[in-house]
Amino acid sequence: MKYFRSHILVCKDPDCIHKGAHEVMDALQDELVAEGLINEIQVLETSRIGSCWNGPEMMVYPEGVHYTNLTVDDIPYLVEEHFLKGRIATRFVEPEKTVKDEELGTPKSKEIRVVLRNCGKIDPENIEDYIAEDGYAALGKALTEMTPNQVIETVLASGLRGRGGAGFPAARKWSFVAGKQGSEKFLICNADEGDPGAFMNRRVLESDPHAVLEGMIIAAYAAGINQGYIYCRAEYPIAVKTLNIAINQARALGLLGKDILGSGFDFDLEVRMGAGAFVCGEETALMASIEGKRGEPRPRPPFPADSGLWGKPSNVNNVETYANVPQIILKGADWYASMGNEKSKGTKTFAIAGDVNNTGLIEVPFGISLREIVFDVCGGIKDGKQFKAIQTGGPMGGCLPASQLDLPMDYESMTAAGSMMGSGGLIVMDEDTCMVDIARFFMEFTQDESCGKCTPCRVGTRRILEILNRICEGKGRHGDIETLELLCKEIKATSLCGLGQGAPTPVESTLKHFRDEYEAHIYQKKCPARVCKSLISYEIQPDICTGCTVCARNCPVEAISGERRQPHGIDPDICVRCGICMQVCNFNAIIVN
Amino acid sequence: MVVEASISERVHQAVENALTRFGAQDDELIPILTHVNHEIGYLPGQALEEIAHALRKPKSKVFTVASFYGMLSTIPVGKHVIRFCESAPCHVVGGRQVILALQQALNINIGQTTSDGHWTLLAVSCLGICAVGPAFIIDDDVYGNVSPDQVPAILGKYQG
């Protein structure tokens, strides 16, 4: 075998050929011959090495330099610089990618990435990229070295709990279905990630779809299921497209379908799309929707394991739950259980929104404190403001104040504090947030998304919203707080599904932790955060106002009057409290009361 | 001479295409409705009737599904549909100003269609692109990190 000191790999993708790759390669050969280097340097053809947007392009090894935008005329210079003088021809080096990932940056301190490990790193539309990162090795191990029972035992020992929010041990569900007789059983992946602000699952589906597929196949093997569904919300068209590509690739390699990896185990799955209904994230509503019906929940029991899709035993887990499974099988239950705390094992992905410096996705071990999440991982509150509250668990979760910041993030602690784990949306709020307004905002959402089947949720959420609207408009009455408390308690106790049972939580938690704000709205007719429009007034400070007239000229309702170079005034009866005057004033003369 | 297909023919064709693609089965009802909604812009009574007939269901059963889901519409919509995210993460980063700018620019309220039938403005729940809020979707195009002053330029792309 002949040895070369350097290898040049020229991309011969159709795109690059179209841009002249053949000619560049010929010129390269000729130049190397002319310089007497042809016995030292080997020129090879290769498939796509980059985007081909700036073709023709080539890679030079051992340096690993990626040259782009080459023409035949550039070759003599390139050969002289790189191969004679040994200097990298920087003007052809592909520039560093500067595309900023606004959702998922490089791991921050205290982050551990298990579920998000491949996101942004591999090409989600290429199964080989996933396989190169140990993809489908866990499936091979499960199918050839483990019995279904051993898979269940391993995942049970790892402590993996349902990441959809309820936190039920995943493998226990599988064992319920495994124990059912008959061949018609279904495995369902809940990808109806509807919580506002939560987009962790979308990112996994779009960036690492095979991890979800592999987890599902392993779960299906454990529970003895041959048919699966992924129910994805219609708002995620890219996730659906990526999933379908991934399914076809897995099928082509025999990782889905009949006799997977020669083990005799059959499993196939298809993607079902929702059509825009938040309640379909509830598992019984989700199954109704797959059947082509209105996505309305039904009472449990019977649980899906007994009577699920089309009345058959079914297992429902969330995207993140399945995405954890391959790593557990591959690295073992002990490795997984070493992360997290006593009752909540492993890691959890969160989507952070609101007033922190670093918003976007994070993945942290369970047991980390809320304070660490807000101040260490997310870089603290924006613009040097004060932390006021963190809302955990999505629209059915609660708002926790600064005094609760040292709580560990785990299922039990969140529930005990009057909030919940939820699927992983976190909204951080600073001092300028009105908690009554926030409670009203979430109530508006749940009231709108209530499917209408059961009365407590359909009517109760509306009554709460009416009271909150009144309070925010400055028409709060004695007894409103007590009525709210009673409504919350009864809706929680009597609603059919998680939506109604969770709907009062934002109100309950803000009443518990920020009761003084409700009282200020009702009794003093004041909004301490100066958010509720009916309870604030704008005022021009005469000693600061220069009479420049800019506010008066910008006021949409002509509520501001005054002579040029004289202090101006705002007529509160005309003012609509739009705040434009405050934004345009160059002297900070306008204040909110 | 090219004769444009009448609306009734277009609806019929869309239903036929959907039935061929997905099959006339109960569990394919949502994909069928989604397909027709996408083709026609909404679900006219004729479409619901034809689908009900093919699936051997009463029309009421089809209507109850069509009216349940937010992405399906049983009333006509404009040529372009704006779906504005009204969820909390977009709300806390200035979504309210953006929806006001949209309402002002189009001179309609949420849920309405402009009198020329060009625009429909809808408020929808989370689009899942919270990292780039405030956000909205026009037809199939996504717009993120929108500020109120960008609204006229974005809408301008869809004129004509």
pLDDT tens digits, one per residue of B41-68 = 999 999 999 999 999 999 999 999 999 9
**A445, B89: Cβ pair inside 8 Å?**
no
CATH number assigned to the domain with residue range B80-156, chosen from the 4 options 3.40.630.30, 3.40.30.10, 3.30.430.20, 3.90.1310.10: 3.40.30.10
Size of interface A-B (CB pairs under 8 A): 116
Q: What value does the mean pLDDT take over residues A29-53?
A: 85
Phi, psi dihedrals of residue A540, rounded to the nearest 5°: -95, 125
Q: Tell me the residues of chain B between 94 and 123 that have a Cβ less than 8 Å away from chain A.
A: none
**A278, B130: Cβ pair inside 8 Å?**
no
State the Cα–Cα distance between residues A310 and A94, nearest whole angstrom: 55
Among the listed residues A183, A189, A237, A178, the one whose alpha carbon sits nearest the alpha carbon of residue A211:
A189
Its domain, for residue A47, covers: 6-92
Q: Which residues pair with A227 in a beta bridge?
A: A186, A268
Q: Which residues pair with A427 in a beta bridge?
A: A353, A391
Which pTM was predicted?
A: 0.83
State the Cα–Cα distance between residues A212 and A245, nearest whole angstrom: 13
Picking from A101, A233, A287, A293 by the largest number of B CB atoms within 10 A of its own CB, the best residue to mutate is A293
Residue A358 lies in a domain: yes
State the Cα–Cα distance between residues A181 and A190, nearest whole angstrom: 24
In chain A, residues with a C-beta closer than 8 Å to the C-beta of B93 are: 353-354
- Give pLDDT, residue A98: 56
Q: How confident is the model at residue B30 (pLDDT cuts 50, 70, 90)?
A: very high
Residue A405 lies in a domain: yes
Same domain, A517 and A545: no
Same domain, A185 and A312: yes
Residue A287 lies in a domain: yes
CATH number for A420 = 3.10.20.600
Among the listed residues A357, A503, A533, A556, the one whose alpha carbon sits nearest the alpha carbon of residue A437:
A533
Residue A238 lies in a domain: yes
Report in angstroms the alpha-carbon separations of A484 from A269, A444, A526, A535, B121: 46, 15, 19, 21, 33
Same domain, A134 and A280: yes
Tens of pLDDT, residues A136-169: 999 999 999 999 999 999 999 999 999 988 899 9
Q: What value does the mean pLDDT take over residues A242-247?
A: 96
Among the listed residues A226, A229, A223, the one whose alpha carbon sits nearest the alpha carbon of residue A155:
A223
What are the residues whose beta carbons fall under 8 Å from the beta carbon of A128, sequence distance 6 or more?
none
Tens of pLDDT, residues A336-393: 999 999 999 999 999 998 889 988 899 999 999 999 999 999 999 999 999 999 999 8
**A193, B68: Cβ pair inside 8 Å?**
no
Residue A275, CA atoms < 13 Å, CB-side half-sphere: 28
Picking from A100, A206, A294, A437 by the largest number of B CB atoms within 10 A of its own CB, the best residue to mutate is A294
Closest residue in B to A239 (Cα) is B128
- Give pLDDT, residue B1: 44
Would you state the structure tokens that stand for residue B38, as one six-digit string? 């996408």
Closest residue in B to A279 (Cα) is B69
Residue A118 lies in a domain: no
Q: Which residue has the tokens 């952070």?
A: A352
Residue A134 lies in a domain: yes
Write the secondary structure of A345-375 as one string of H (helix), E (strand) and C (coil). Answer: ECEEEEEEEECECCCEEEEEECCCEHHHHHH
* The length of chain B, given as a count of residues: 160
CATH number for A20 = 3.40.30.10
Query: How far is B82 from chain A, CA to nearest CA, in Å?
Result: 13
Q: Tell me the residues of chain A between 311 and 370 that have a Cβ less than 8 Å away from chain B.
A: 351, 353-355, 359-361
Domain count, chain A: 5
Tens of pLDDT, residues A494-513: 999 989 999 999 999 999 99
- Give the containing element (helix H, strand E) for A389: strand A387-392
Same domain, A490 and A564: no
What 3-state class would DSSP assign to A592?
A: strand
Domain boundaries, chain B: 7-66, 80-156
Q: How confident is the model at residue B3 (pLDDT cuts 50, 70, 90)?
A: low
Query: How far is A90 from chain B, CA to nearest CA, in Å?
Result: 35
ipTM over 0.90: no
Q: Which of A430, A445, A475 is where one domain is finished? A: A430
Q: Which of A430, A457, A478 is where one domain is finished? A: A430
In chain B, residues with a C-beta closer than 8 Å to the C-beta of A427 are: 88-89, 92
Same domain, A385 and A452: no
Q: Tell me the residues of chain A between 101 and 140 that have a Cβ less than 8 Å away from chain B.
A: 102-103
Same domain, A208 and A303: yes
**B130, A199: Cβ pair inside 8 Å?**
yes
Q: Which residue has the tokens 């009463």?
A: B58
- Give pLDDT, residue A100: 66
Picking from B28, B42, B69 by the largest number of A CB atoms within 10 A of its own CB, the best residue to mutate is B69
Helices A435-449 and A505-513: crossing angle in degrees, nearest 10, is 170
CATH number for A568 = 3.30.70.20
**A277, B68: Cβ pair inside 8 Å?**
yes
CATH number for A456 = 1.20.1440.230
Q: Buried (b) or exposed (e) across A535-544, using 16+ Cβ within 10 A?
A: bbebebeeee
Contact A351, A424 (CB under 8 A): yes
Query: How far is A392 from chain B, CA to nearest CA, in Å?
Result: 12
Same domain, A421 and A570: no
CATH number for A136 = 3.40.50.11540
Would you state the structure tokens that stand for residue A180, as one six-digit string? 């059912």
